[in-house]
Amino acid sequence: MKILILGLLSAWALNAQAELKVVTTTTTLENLVQEIGQDKVDVSSLTKSNQDPHFVEAKPSYMVKLRQADLLVSVGLDLEVGWIGNVQRGAKNPTLLKGSKGFFAAGDHIEAIDIPEGKLDRAEGDVHPLGNPHFHLDPIKTISVVEALAIKLGELDSANAEFYQRRAADYAKTLKEKMKDWESRITKSQVNNVITYHKSLSYFLRRFDLDVVASIEPKPGIPPTAKHIISLIKLVKQKNVKCILNENYFETTAGERIKGVTQASLQIVPVEVQTDYFDLIESLVTAVENCGKGV
Ligand SMILES: [Zn+2]
């Protein structure tokens, strides 16, 4: 009996050791790490799926989570610049600091769009100086992130490096297959231009050949004025815009006003994973289809 218990205990200890503790800043990254790592990782996200990841309170509970983690996975490109530094410092876990082996920024592995030119001015709003950090809504860019994540997990857990590589390859294959269906459905929807609240959907729209006519916020992080809404209404009518995609963590009153006096359909869409990444992109594709049907 004693031997059995000892055996069980050591098996448990081995298992506990094998599990990489990963903390991500968003639920989308959490899901991607889970897909690649399966039972070899214990992963959790600091923010919830309907939370604005630009502005987050650096809670002490986040620091406790990070203190015990082997890896911090962030979006990068300064998306979390307002809060993650405080959490990292408070965690007192130097291996998770930028440049250390327990830190991963997805943005280091993709080519960004919307990089502002010239000198930055705060009057331009809360711009992203390193380029648009919302690349995760482009499934093809997400493949690059998944591949880089698999390498990082393998670096920290070399015994399972091959497993992570295989999982990433399978995941990329599934995503590429799904792309065909998503692309054809968006083409069929006959929607070709949209407005969004923030530039969160720029990569998604670009990937699926949809034009962004304007943003509801006149400048990043700045809510719309009555004047701006009037100019948007004009634009929507002029360009026959059928679709307003309003990210679920921004207010919808401006979108509703525009919808009320134009032909545009208003879709409130998730921009971070609620169940899994496939469902997230599926929701966005369905939202565009709904716009096409005038729902
Ligand atoms: Zn943003």
Amino acid at 230: I
Q: Domain 16-110+117-173's class?
A: alpha beta
- Per-residue pLDDT tens digits of the chain, which is 295 residues long: 455 555 545 544 444 455 899 999 999 999 999 999 999 999 999 999 999 999 999 999 999 999 999 999 999 999 999 999 999 999 999 999 999 999 999 999 999 999 988 766 666 666 788 999 999 999 999 999 999 999 999 999 999 999 999 999 999 999 999 999 999 999 999 999 999 999 999 999 999 999 999 999 998 889 999 999 999 999 999 999 999 999 999 999 999 999 999 999 999 999 999 999 999 999 999 999 999 999 9
Q: What is the whole-number distance in angstroms between the Cα of residue 3 and the centre of ligand 1?
A: 56
Q: What is the whole-number distance in angstroms between the Cα of residue 226 and the centre of ligand 1?
A: 22
Distance CA 154, CA 170 (A): 16
Q: What is the whole-number distance in angstroms between the Cα of residue 79 and the centre of ligand 1?
A: 7
Q: What is the whole-number distance in angstroms between the Cα of residue 5 and the centre of ligand 1?
A: 52
Q: What is the whole-number distance in angstroms between the Cα of residue 9 and the centre of ligand 1?
A: 47
Q: Which residues contact 294 (CB under 8 A, 6 or more apart)?
A: 242, 263, 265
User: Do 185 and 289 meet the contact criterion of CB atoms below 8 Å apart?
Assistant: yes
177-293: which CATH topology? Rossmann fold (3.40.50)
Q: What is the whole-number distance in angstroms between the Cα of residue 268 and the centre of ligand 1?
A: 17
Distance CA 103, CA 107 (A): 12
Q: What is the whole-number distance in angstroms between the Cα of residue 199 and the centre of ligand 1?
A: 6
Q: What is the whole-number distance in angstroms between the Cα of residue 191 and the centre of ligand 1?
A: 24
The pLDDT value given to residue 144: 98
Q: What is the whole-number distance in angstroms between the Cα of residue 139 and the centre of ligand 1?
A: 18
The ranges of the chain annotated as CATH 3.40.50.1980 are: 16-110+117-173, 177-293
Q: What is the whole-number distance in angstroms between the Cα of residue 46 and the centre of ligand 1?
A: 17
Q: What is the whole-number distance in angstroms between the Cα of residue 86 and the centre of ligand 1?
A: 20
Q: Where are the alpha helices (DSSP H) in the chain?
A: 2-18, 27-37, 60-67, 84-91, 139-156, 161-189, 202-207, 226-238, 253-261, 277-293
Q: What is the whole-number distance in angstroms between the Cα of residue 132 and the centre of ligand 1?
A: 7
CA 74 to chain centre: 10
Q: What is the whole-number distance in angstroms between the Cα of residue 200 and the centre of ligand 1?
A: 6
Q: What is the whole-number distance in angstroms between the Cα of residue 133 and the centre of ligand 1?
A: 6
